[in-house]
Amino acid sequence: MKKNNRQFTAPISKAMEAYAGDGALAFHTPGHKQGLGAHPLLKELITEAGLRQEVSLMEELDDLHEPAGCIKEAQELAAELWGARESLFVINGTTGAIQAMLVGTLSPGDRVLVPRNAHRSIMGGIILAGAVPIYIQPEIDTCLGIAMGLSVATVKQAIKEHPEAKALVAVYPTYYGFCCDLQRIGELLHEANMLLLVDEAHGAHLRFGKDLPKQAIELGADVAAQSTHKLLGSMTQTSMLHIGSNRVEAERIRQAASLLQSTSPNQLLLASLDIARLQMAQEGAQRVNRAVELAQWLRKKINETPGLYCPGKEIWAGQKAGSLVTGGQDLADDKRGAIALDWAKVTVNLAGLDISGQEAELLLRHQWKVQCELSDPENLLFIISMADTQREADRLLQVLQELAAKHQRTMATKTANKDDSDIAEKQGCKKADNLCHMAEMPVAVQRMNPREAFFAPIRTVALEKAIGCICGETIAFYPPGIPVLCPGEEITEALVEYIRFYQAKGMRLSGAADSRLETIRVCQKAGIQD
């Protein structure tokens, strides 16, 4: 990744500053007229300088939908820095980028391979494209109770069983930072004349860390959607869509991105993407590598704390601690769901404590004023970003040590085994005893095309009385946003039990019209027992 002087500019920000300084009397949107009519609270929030530049669609500021000036230049600089054939700025989140990726590459009726731990935004893109999902199961770590990535063997089998599929959508890395063998998966797909489309929401920083997995585009992805705001320095709701190959039609993807984005894009969001790119060009490697060092230090200290376990290489190096699927048996290379980890993601397993992940999150937030990224029944996830220093890492470690001291599980295993491969068992993480039910989500059966189900006549029934009916909405626990039920899938007794189990554990539902899910929307004329 070569640096050049061109990268050390911010063309969008420069154009905005020039327009604001030109002194033109504004008789155009937005209504606050460059801050003149803004409420004092908004001026305090955005700053007067920021409001003066909060203008879009002026000639000097370019047009996101037909870029020819500063936005075009900024996107070209991003493509150069991330090593993409072409990069597009997206201002409605990675949800919008993923949906543009799918609409831009799939056609109505196309079949697409989708891992079950895919984010709900992928289902939204499938509905918009009119595609038909073929779900495949990711590998499961029975110690942590979380889904990993797809194994090479699983993808091989899916290709064999569904040679008509147009593409596979991979999640890389997972929310918890685990990375599958994306390069081998991509090679298999391309041999079968299929596309590799990647939800890389949590991977925008991978390009800049020497000890991090390679990013998706470098591993053969045809298109990858990245959340620039998650671990880098752009504003929330900003992302990039990277086109990596000539197997896809770039113009169609551009059209899809235009279709799915506002015709009045916020210029501050666009500028933040450009400035985040500038920051990474200037100091990305230094900052990301420092974050990784801090995370590795934390990981070591956490694993020295009784009752806590922070996974590392042992998850895929021999499979002795984490036990992917096989309960401690070594796995063949092509059956591994993880071969690398984004070290900036620090997962803390609490199986050695007498407290759930959700309970721990609340304690950390309100008692110690520390907020994690997410919690699940047995884990907390912390993101160490380029903004963190030793001070923040010290504070997090102190809080976790205090939590562990107060909530020790009395029967937790406390051996003196120094072998890293046995860390999980040393800290009390017991594969069989602590199997997380979230990892064993019942597989729903698809009865209707998701798009048909989405537009079908809908009625509302009690959840327990909906068994045998076809789901008319997306049901997911958030975080991490993995659908339990999608439009077009049959509601089964096992799925209802699963939902109630996690509701009882305090997991928050997302996507349902009834937030408590006492009722569920079903397709009026499609239920098996309707």
Interval 490-502 mean pLDDT: 94
Local structure of 276: helix, strand or coil:
helix
Contact 189, 355 (CB under 8 A): no
431 or 180, greater pLDDT: 180
Residue 199 β-bridge partners: 171, 225
Return the SS3 of 77.
helix
Specify whether the CB–CB gap between 134 and 165 falls below 8 A. yes
Of the given ranges (61-65, 264-268, 464-468, 475-479), which has the lowest mean pLDDT? 475-479
Q: What is the mean pLDDT of residues 108-117?
A: 94
**Residue 209: pLDDT band with limits 50, 70, 90:** very high
Q: Which residues contact 5 (CB under 8 A, 6 or more apart)?
A: none
| DSSP classification of residue 529 | T
Task: Specify whether domain 5-133+185-281 bears CATH 3.30.413.10.
Answer: no
For the cut 50, the answer to whether the pLDDT of residue 434 exceeds it is no
What is the per-residue pLDDT for 422?
56
Q: Where are the domains of the chain?
A: 5-133+185-281, 285-308+345-433, 441-523
- What pLDDT, on a 0 to 100 scale, did the predictor assign at position 457? 96
What average pLDDT score do residues 393-400 get? 98
How many other CB atoms are found less than 10 A from the CB of residue 497? 13
Question: What pLDDT does 415 receive?
Answer: 37
Could you tell me which of 239, 226, 379, 398 has the C-alpha nearest to residue 309? 379
- In this structure, what are the phi and psi dihedrals at residue 242, rounded to the nearest 5 degrees? -100, 125
Please report, rounded to a whole number, the percentage of residues in the chain having pLDDT higher than 70.
89
Token output for 221: 């992805």
* Average pLDDT, integer, range 11-37: 91
pLDDT at 427: 58
For 247-281, what is each residue's pLDDT tens digit? 999 999 999 999 999 999 999 999 999 999 999 99
Check whether 480 has a pLDDT greater than 80: no
CATH of domain 285-308+345-433: 3.90.1150.10
- DSSP tally for the chain: helices H, then strands E: 16, 19
pLDDT, greater one: 240 or 147: 240
- What is the per-residue pLDDT across 76-101, written as a single tens digit (0 to 9) for each? 999 999 999 999 999 999 999 999 99
Q: Is 324 helix (H, G, I), strand (E, B) or coil?
A: strand
Residues 10, 274: contact at Cβ < 8 Å?
yes
List of E strands, 129-281 = 132-136, 140-141, 146-147, 167-171, 178-179, 195-199, 223-226, 239-243
User: What confidence tier does 117 reach under pLDDT thresholds 50, 70, 90?
Assistant: confident
pLDDT of residue 147: 87
Question: Dmax over Cα atoms in the chain, in whole Å?
Answer: 74
Q: Tell me, what's the pLDDT at 143?
A: 81
Please report which confidence band the pLDDT of residue 409 belongs to, taking 50, 70 and 90 as the band edges: confident
How many Å apart are CA 175 and CA 137, to the nearest integer? 16
CB count within 10 Å of CB 264 equals 11
Report the C-alpha dihedral over residues 517, 439, 204, 114, rounded to 10 degrees: -80
- Split at pLDDT 50, 70, 90, the class of 205 is very high
pLDDT of residue 327: 35
CA torsion, ordered 381, 382, 386, 389, to nearest 10 deg: -160
Q: What CATH class is the domain 441-523? A: alpha beta
pLDDT at 178 over 50: yes
Q: Which two tokens stand for residue 420?
A: 């890293």
Q: 251 — phi, psi (to 5°)?
A: -60, -40
DSSP conformational letter for 441: P
184 pLDDT higher than 70 = yes
Question: What's the average model confidence in pLDDT over 29-35?
Answer: 90
Confidence of residue 154 (pLDDT cuts 50, 70, 90): very high
* The pairing of beta strand 86-90 with beta strand 239-243: antiparallel
Cα–Cα distance measured from residue 191 to residue 186, given in angstroms and rounded to the nearest whole number: 9
Please say if the pLDDT value at position 432 is more than 80.
no
Overall average pLDDT of the 107-120 stretch:
93
Band of residue 70 on the pLDDT scale cut at 50, 70, 90: very high
Structure tokens at 146: 């979380």
Q: Report pLDDT for 328.
A: 36
Task: Look at residue 140 and tell me whether its pLDDT is greater than 90.
Answer: no
Q: Are strands 379-383 and 239-243 parallel, antiparallel or unpaired?
A: unpaired
Q: Give the H/E segment covering residue 520.
A: strand 519-523
- Residue 331 pLDDT level (bands cut at 50, 70, 90): low
Rounded CA separation 484/479 (Å): 12
Mean pLDDT value of segment 211-221: 98
The pLDDT value recorded for residue 319 is 45
| Cα–Cα distance measured from residue 325 to residue 331, given in angstroms and rounded to the nearest whole number | 9
Over residues 331-350, the mean pLDDT reads 92
| pLDDT, average across residues 428-445 | 58
pLDDT of residue 418: 35
> Given this model, what pLDDT does residue 426 score?
54
Residue 256 CA to residue 234 CA, distance in Å, equals 23
Over residues 120-133, mean pLDDT: 94
Contacts of 352 (CB under 8 A, 6+ apart): 306, 307, 308, 309, 404, 408, 409, 412, 413, 427, 428, 429
Task: For the chain, give the number of residues.
Answer: 530
pLDDT given for residue 421 in this prediction = 47
Task: Please compute the mean of the pLDDT values over residues 25-31 and round it to a whole number.
Answer: 89
